[in-house]
Amino acid sequence: MSGQTFLSSITALSQPADPDAANRGLESWRERAAETEDPALGAFAAKLADNEVGARLLKAVFGSSPFLSHALLQEMAFCQALFNRGPDATFADLTRAINDQLAGESDRGRIMTGLRRARRQAALLVALADIAGLWPVERVIAALSAFAECAIDAAMRHLVEAAVSAGSIVLPPGAGAAGSGIAVFGMGKLGGRELNYSSDIDLIVFYDADVLKASEPEELQGRIVRIIRDLVRVLEERTGDGYVFRTDLRLRPDAGVTPVAISMDAAELYYESMGQNWERAAMIKARTVAGDRAAGQAFLDRLRPFLWRRHLDFAAIQDIHSIKRQIQAHRGGGTVAVLGHNVKLGRGGIREIEFFAQTQQLIWGGRDPSLRVAATCDALAALAEAGRIKPKVAAELTRAYRFLRQVEHRIQMVDDRQTHSIPADAAGLQRLALFMGYPDTAPFERDLRLHLNTVSECYAALFEGAAPLSGPGNLVFTGTENDPETVRTLERLGFKDGNAIAATVRAWHHGRYRAMRSERARQLLTEIKPALMAALTRTAEPDAAFHRFDQFLGKLPAGVQIFSLFHSRPELLDLLVEIMGDAPVLAEHLSRNPVLLDGVLTDDAMAPLPPVAALQDDLMRALDQARDLQDVLDLSLRWANDRKFQIGLQMLRGKLDGVGAGTVLADVADAVIAALQPRVEAEFARQHGRFAQAGTAVGGMAVIAMGKLGGRELTVASDLDLVFVYDVGGAEDAMTLQSDGARPLAPMTYFTRLGQRLVGALEAQAGEGRLYQIDLRLRPSGNKGPLASAVDGFESYQRSEAWTWEHMALTRARVVTGPPALRQRIAASIARVLTQQRDPAKLVADVAEMRQRMAQEHKAKGHWQLKHARGGLVDVEFLAQYLQLRHAAERPDVLSPNTAEAFERLAAESAIDGKTGHRLAQAAHLLTRVQGLIRLTVGEGLAESALPAGLKARLARAGDEPDLDALKTRLAAAMDFVRVCYESLIDTPAARQKLLSDPETNS
């Protein structure tokens, strides 16, 4: 084709989008022609500018594309060859020059420069052939792909030869890159010979470890990885000459954790055991583009059974369907917005055409070899020929594909940027329409909408009988990078960090978790993902709930059974998400021990827990399996966590309120202490023995429950406040007494260490979490006192040394274990202390001062801080404790470790007004119920604005109210009443007493 033939073959040219830029560019061309030292080149350039068609072609470029304008002026001599020989011959010359001259180049700098100049020339050639209408879309994308393959192969030959010369790798004599065992595969559009104008190239690299060697065998993979990293650098590093190709290696198996080059054996094992259907779809287009092509083809041949499956079960077909179904398709659904539309990823775009073909190839290609083609248009034709789609559909989609690819190319030609979006403004749209050859915007918009709607209709009809896997928007978790529309969909649903969520979901499918290592598990998870995502966004903190679900998934030993249950019983999935989103304490238990979920599936999960004696029997039966103390601790931890989980679940579902939960949680703790103490003592005695009289009715160690455990008001997050008291049987020589074991100890040392052992047992940790957190600060003298107290010392301390606040704490004391006589003695001693005569003035002053100090240390923020707010739980407890100490001397029956019960007793004994006592008891119950649910669901702090509707309703139910506003009103009234009672019973008398005792005030 001569230059004249090149120009005469042009039938239509686009108008310049920017006439001024077009004129300036043409003037620059003329100036460059005049300045050149080559007379023939100058004459060619001038003649082209003077030719009517030539000038229009130059103006079309100068007025539409800054990138091509620059290339034209830089490559005038190349343009002369192009116009003299035509695009086909010139392109062949270009690739031949790369193969003949650059492939054997040993200098890295020269090959990088040569490839970049060749790329600029190829881009210019292809663009001019496209704009002039000399090449159809198929020829354009084939040429772009052929150039890429040529450039990659040249770079690879240079790098392999350099590595051999440096001794980094060892090859058979004369092997070179073509016999190196390193195969570079082109994927995606490169593999299908469908590259777009400014495309990345997707590569994966596998090597045959039997072919090439390293001087140190263990370093072979690292040295190949360096070659591939150098390949990427050669291709994509930007220099003054530009770049060759942006390169993406993320389509390799499990790209998040694998090196950029892996052995063929490892890759084959991955695809056979972990390969996903989207990877099968990706491998349809795979072909060797550089390196050892024979080894690469042999690998693809071995992979054929993975890629083209002759027999697919229903689940596999459903999973293939899901590749399409995760994108919400629209049929007859309104007008596509043109401005800003993504012609690749958007509705009716190029990807929908590709997925339309690939999903059907995956289903039918195993039985019909004619469908095993890489190019999209070829695949559509093959599907029509095989009777899998209608010829009319194939023709319409092929026309749409060609049109959309041409639009994509024009968008990218402007600035050599990998973008696929129509300009978002009217002026930009006008420029694109002109560049496409339209006279103005309207006909371009009409044709674009026609093709987008056609694709959208065909895509929506594909697998139309299958249920969609998403609501409005996309939920696509295939491939190696986040789908932008999926990220937007996730964030519209309510997630804050859609990118992180999408990346984690994609990672699930790589089988890094045990539960995800079977193909069936991955298929089932794909099916339930939309319901899972929707359920998670109904929680208070969707991102946090998702993170907890991810932790849970990571600990599951297997996935098929549980995912099948979620699929068949969606209410179980809702329950799990409810736990993950609304009950972090339960979620942590469940994440550490997924076996707990088995209990959710039984009818017993919502059954009331039995009394404490039955719980103790149940735990004892479980411990019968124990071989040693470690087994005892592990079994106790599992048993207690199962029960705590069951209690929390019942609270979450409204079967148990905070008051009832406090009682049964205390029963569980009592049972654990009662089971562990004798076993810890027996283990301790094996070394240290016992005391001569320690086995009698009065000897041994007792455990006193204090605080919320003593009052049977535990929450799921409560510590256990304990005090240890021991007796050695009243021995007169207690000062010199020693235990009778191989390593004898004095009583204080013995019981201090025994107490430490018991604390260690009760704080046992394993994969399932911690048993309990123990707090011993309520013992005599607090942290300064011995860990275990002799009963005589305990009694003496409480009689004569204890502070008022310690006696307040003692009102909640409950002896839970120990020899019966010792338990009776301690209980009687506590009763004597609590019923002793007190100075009312000093008592009220001490209580008021203690509360003021606590208020300064714990300032309540917000009306949901139910513990420390005025009128909250602390005030309720102080009132109960003060009133018991104030009246127990005359009315000992007022004593009760439980706060609400103490108020009822105070009222029954006429220590306070009956109505007041009952209202205070009701306030205690209300605050306990609501606080218990808050601790279970959101932990310490509650941000009302972030609460989902479900949790608001649950909180309202905890307070027996219809909605959250009504609950807030009731809480405010209850807390106001408590505050008024506190002020009238404690603050006002204390202030009056302080006034009377102040000498300056009385003078």
Q: What is the pLDDT of residues 221-251, one digit of tens each?
A: 999 999 999 999 999 999 999 999 999 998 9
118: pLDDT strictly greater than 70? yes
pLDDT at 267: 93
Beta-ladder partners of 262: 206
SS3 (DSSP) at 436: coil
Question: For 511-555, how does the pLDDT look when each residue is reduced to its tens digit (9 = 90+)?
Answer: 778 888 777 788 788 878 888 888 898 887 889 889 989 988 888
**Residue 186 · residue 247 · CB < 8 Å:** no
784: pLDDT strictly greater than 60? yes
The 10 Å CB-count burial string (b at 16+, else e) for 473-512 is bbbbbbbbebbbbbbebbbebbbeebebbbebbbbbbbbe
Question: For 48-106, how does the pLDDT look when each residue is reduced to its tens digit (9 = 90+)?
Answer: 999 999 999 999 999 999 999 999 999 999 999 999 999 999 999 999 999 888 766 78
Question: For 14-39, how does the pLDDT look when each residue is reduced to its tens digit (9 = 90+)?
Answer: 889 899 999 999 999 999 999 999 99
When mean pLDDT is compared over 96-110, 286-300, 600-614, the highest value belongs to 286-300
Weakest mean pLDDT among 852-856, 886-890, 941-945: 941-945
pLDDT at 707: 95
> What separation, in Å, do the N-terminal and C-terminal C-alpha atoms of the chain show?
122
Angstrom distance (rounded) from CA 854 to CA 859: 9
470: pLDDT strictly greater than 60? no
Question: For 687-728, how does the pLDDT look when each residue is reduced to its tens digit (9 = 90+)?
Answer: 999 886 544 534 799 999 999 999 999 988 889 999 999 998
Give the confidence band of 333 by pLDDT, cuts at 50, 70, 90: very low
Weakest mean pLDDT among 147-161, 617-631, 685-699: 685-699
Domain boundaries 86-307, corresponding CATH code: 3.30.460.10
Using CB atoms within 10 Å of the CB of residue 999, give its burial: 0 to 12 exposed, 13 to 18 middle, 19+ buried.
Answer: exposed
The two beta strands, 699-706 and 720-728, are: antiparallel
Angstrom distance (rounded) from CA 529 to CA 525: 6
Helices within 36-185 (DSSP H only)? 39-50, 52-62, 66-74, 76-85, 87-97, 108-131, 137-165
When mean pLDDT is compared over 185-194, 933-942, 945-954, the highest value belongs to 185-194
Weakest mean pLDDT among 659-663, 698-702, 796-800: 698-702
When mean pLDDT is compared over 514-518, 769-773, 924-928, the highest value belongs to 924-928
pLDDT at 115: 96
The 10 Å CB-count burial string (b at 16+, else e) for 583-608 is bbbbbebbbbbbebbeebeeeebeee
The four Cα atoms 282, 283, 288, 289 give a dihedral, to 10 degrees, of: -10
Q: Which DSSP string do the residues of 744-802 spell out, in sequence order? A: ---HHHHHHHHHHHHHHHHT-EETTEES--EE-TTSTTGGGS-SEEEHHHHHHHHHHT-
Query: Which superfamily, per CATH, for 608-834?
Result: Beta Polymerase, domain 2 (3.30.460.10)
- What does pLDDT average to over the chain? 87
pLDDT at 642: 84
| Secondary structure of 181-240 in HEC code, one letter for each residue | CEEEEEEHHHHCCCCCCCCCEEEEEEECCCCCECCCHHHHHHHHHHHHHHHHHHHHCCEC
Given 3.30.1330.100, 3.40.350.10, 1.20.120.330, 3.30.565.10, which CATH number is that of 840-1002?
Answer: 1.20.120.330
- From residue 805, alpha-carbon distances to 218, 321, 800, 834, 898 in Å are 69, 69, 14, 12, 17
Q: Tokens 């013992």 map to which residue?
A: 779
Angstrom distance (rounded) from CA 552 to CA 556: 6
**Which amino acid would we find at residue 484?**
P
What residues have CB less than 8 Å from 479, skipping those under 6 apart? 251, 278, 282, 506
Written out in words, the top-level CATH class of the domain with range 310-467 is mainly alpha
pLDDT at 951: 75
The four Cα atoms 776, 781, 787, 791 give a dihedral, to 10 degrees, of: -110
pLDDT at 477: 77
* Delimiting residues of CATH 1.20.120.330 domain(s) in the chain: 310-467, 840-1002
Question: For 892-923, how does the pLDDT look when each residue is reduced to its tens digit (9 = 90+)?
Answer: 999 999 999 999 999 999 999 999 999 999 99
The better pLDDT of the pair 1002, 487 is held by 487
pLDDT at 867: 87
* Global pTM exceeds 0.85: no
When mean pLDDT is compared over 588-592, 615-619, 756-760, the highest value belongs to 756-760
* Delimiting residues of CATH 3.30.460.10 domain(s) in the chain: 86-307, 608-834
Strand positions, DSSP E, 256-387? 261-263, 287-291
Angstrom distance (rounded) from CA 151 to CA 116: 9
Written out in words, the top-level CATH class of the domain with range 469-582 is mainly alpha
Task: Take residue 47 and report the two structure tokens written for it.
Answer: 């003649």
Question: For 564-606, how does the pLDDT look when each residue is reduced to its tens digit (9 = 90+)?
Answer: 878 777 878 888 888 887 777 777 777 777 767 766 666 677 7
pLDDT at 936: 83
Weakest mean pLDDT among 120-124, 486-490, 672-676: 486-490
**Residue 213 · residue 263 · CB < 8 Å:** no
991: pLDDT strictly greater than 90? no
pLDDT at 671: 96
Angle at 806 between CA 804 and CA 810, to 5 degrees: 115
442: pLDDT strictly greater than 60? yes
Handedness of CA 774, 778, 779, 781 (dihedral sign): positive
